[in-house]
């Protein structure tokens, strides 16, 4: 039994408590979960925070005596708000310059029990990018079912469908998340987030100019996804195949600033290489692996998203990188 299902089995009623004060405490206890839910739906910290604030305003306006299951009510309202945001976000992303990647998940400190839920799968770049293939209703249904362990009966009223229709929506959603061909930029379903050793090995090979060793660490069908948002140089389209990805990285690595430093941070099972100049993060790289080879590489260059990492570089020590061989 997961943490969320355990709470759903014992719903919280406000009848026996000091109304407004208890209502505030219950909302604050749920805030981390609502934030993680909203982020999974929207892929943006700012949008997630706005959604949770909207939930708070609606919660405060409710007659809490009528709410038998606080968790269910809060998650349902949050899901509906995210559903509305997703519909407009889709239109905005059609105008986005180049590829759009979800912001890295950088949560505040959470209580241990809540952390058990939040640290489940579904917060990494690969999963969130796969969710981008789905229609808003499919995305809501899949996240509630696979990450938050909601049943078809629970999800149905949220998306205004029957339980049977919800089951069909989930079936279609899972099929749509699978990569269709070698030119499909959808991340690999069977991959897992790389740890620091994998990314370090990749960067060391890159720094030494060993393209052969670099290619040996990449899956034949590897895809590089990069996001500059029109505000920093980045590949406008995904780069496919180990040869193309290796040569692309070798080309841009040799042009980096001599003042650039790097460090590694691991957050929510995902390791990031951060390249920074002074106090400004200029590049963030993470990756997914399958059978020991990098199969998806995610490169953030958009300064708006990289700003999230700024506090982290003050806590980490710069890592020495092998010097590049001449001629790379």
As a whole number of angstroms, the distance between CA 240 and CA 222 comes to 6
Confidence band for 328, pLDDT divided at 50, 70 and 90: very low
CA-nearest of 266, 307, 283 to 227 is 283
The residues near 323 (Cβ < 8 Å, ≥ 6 apart) are: 207
DSSP 319: B
pLDDT given at position 283: 95
As a whole number of angstroms, the distance between CA 285 and CA 301 comes to 9
How crowded is residue 63: how many other Cβ atoms within 10 Å of its Cβ? 8
pLDDT given at position 209: 83
The more confident residue out of 241 and 94 is 241
Checking if the pLDDT of 113 tops 60, the result is no
- Between 39-53, 117-131, 173-187, the lowest mean confidence (pLDDT) is in 117-131
How crowded is residue 270: how many other Cβ atoms within 10 Å of its Cβ? 20
Confidence band for 18, pLDDT divided at 50, 70 and 90: low
Query: Percentage of the chain surpassing pLDDT 70?
Result: 84
Task: State pLDDT tens for residues 179-217.
Answer: 888 788 989 888 899 999 999 999 989 988 888 889 999
Checking if the pLDDT of 295 tops 50, the result is yes
Residue pair 193/123 in contact by the 8 Å Cβ criterion:
no
Tell me the HSE value of 216 on the side-chain side, using a 13 A CA sphere.
7
On average, the pLDDT of the chain sits at 84
Give the CA distances from residue 62 to residues 19, 74, 75, 159, 302, in Å, rounded to whole numbers and listed in that order: 11, 11, 15, 21, 40
Angle at which helix 196-207 crosses helix 242-253, to 10 degrees, equals: 70
Residue pair 271/265 in contact by the 8 Å Cβ criterion:
yes
Confidence band for 219, pLDDT divided at 50, 70 and 90: very high
pLDDT given at position 321: 65
- Between 232-246, 264-278, 308-322, the lowest mean confidence (pLDDT) is in 308-322
Residue pair 122/8 in contact by the 8 Å Cβ criterion:
no
Checking if the pLDDT of 299 tops 90, the result is yes
As a whole number of angstroms, the distance between CA 301 and CA 283 comes to 5
Residue 117 CA to its chain's centroid (Å)? 15
pTM value is 0.83
Task: State pLDDT tens for residues 220-231.
Answer: 999 999 999 999
Strand pairing partners for 298?
Answer: 225, 286
pLDDT given at position 1: 36
Residue 269 token pair: 């099972």
Checking if the pLDDT of 268 tops 80, the result is no
Task: State pLDDT tens for residues 99-109.
Answer: 999 988 876 55
Confidence band for 300, pLDDT divided at 50, 70 and 90: very high
As a whole number of angstroms, the distance between CA 208 and CA 227 comes to 25
Domains of the chain: 3-176 (1.20.140.160), 192-313 (3.10.450.50)
Give whichever of 19-33, 36-50, 57-71, 159-173 has the largest mean pLDDT.
Answer: 159-173
């Amino acid at each position: 039994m997961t943490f969320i299902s355990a709470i759903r089995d014992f719903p919280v009623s406000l009848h026996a408590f000091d109304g407004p004060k208890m209502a505030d405490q219950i909302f604050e206890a749920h805030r981390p979960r609502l934030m993680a839910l909203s982020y999974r739906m929207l892929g943006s910290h700012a949008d997630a925070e706005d959604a949770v604030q909207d939930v708070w305003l609606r919660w405060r306006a409710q007659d809490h005596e009528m709410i038998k299951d606080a968790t269910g009510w809060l998650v349902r309202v949050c899901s509906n708000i995210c559903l509305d945001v997703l519909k407009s976000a889709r239109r905005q992303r059609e105008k986005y310059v180049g590829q759009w990647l979800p912001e890295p998940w950088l949560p505040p400190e959470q209580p241990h029990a809540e952390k058990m839920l939040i640290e489940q799968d579904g917060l990494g770049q690969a999963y969130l990018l796969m969710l981008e293939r789905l229609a808003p209703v499919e995305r809501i249904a899949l996240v509630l079912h696979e990450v938050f362990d909601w049943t078809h009966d629970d999800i149905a009223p949220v998306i205004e469908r029957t339980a049977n229709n919800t089951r069909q929506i989930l079936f279609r959603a899972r099929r749509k998340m699978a990569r269709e061909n070698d030119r499909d930029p959808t991340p690999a379903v069977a991959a897992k987030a790389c740890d620091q050793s994998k990314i370090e090995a990749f960067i060391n090979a890159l720094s030494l100019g060993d393209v052969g060793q670099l290619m040996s660490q990449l899956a034949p069908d590897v895809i590089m996804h990069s996001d500059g948002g029109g505000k920093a140089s980045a590949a406008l389209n995904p780069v496919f195949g180990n040869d193309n990805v290796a040569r692309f990285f070798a080309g841009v690595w040799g042009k980096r600033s001599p003042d650039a430093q790097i460090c590694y941070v691991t957050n929510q099972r995902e390791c990031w290489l951060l390249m920074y100049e002074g106090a400004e993060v200029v590049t963030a790289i993470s990756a997914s692996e399958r059978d020991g080879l990098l199969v998806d590489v995610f490169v953030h260059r958009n300064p708006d998203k990289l700003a999230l990492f700024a506090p982290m570089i003050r806590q980490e020590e710069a890592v020495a990188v092998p010097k590049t061989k001449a001629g790379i």
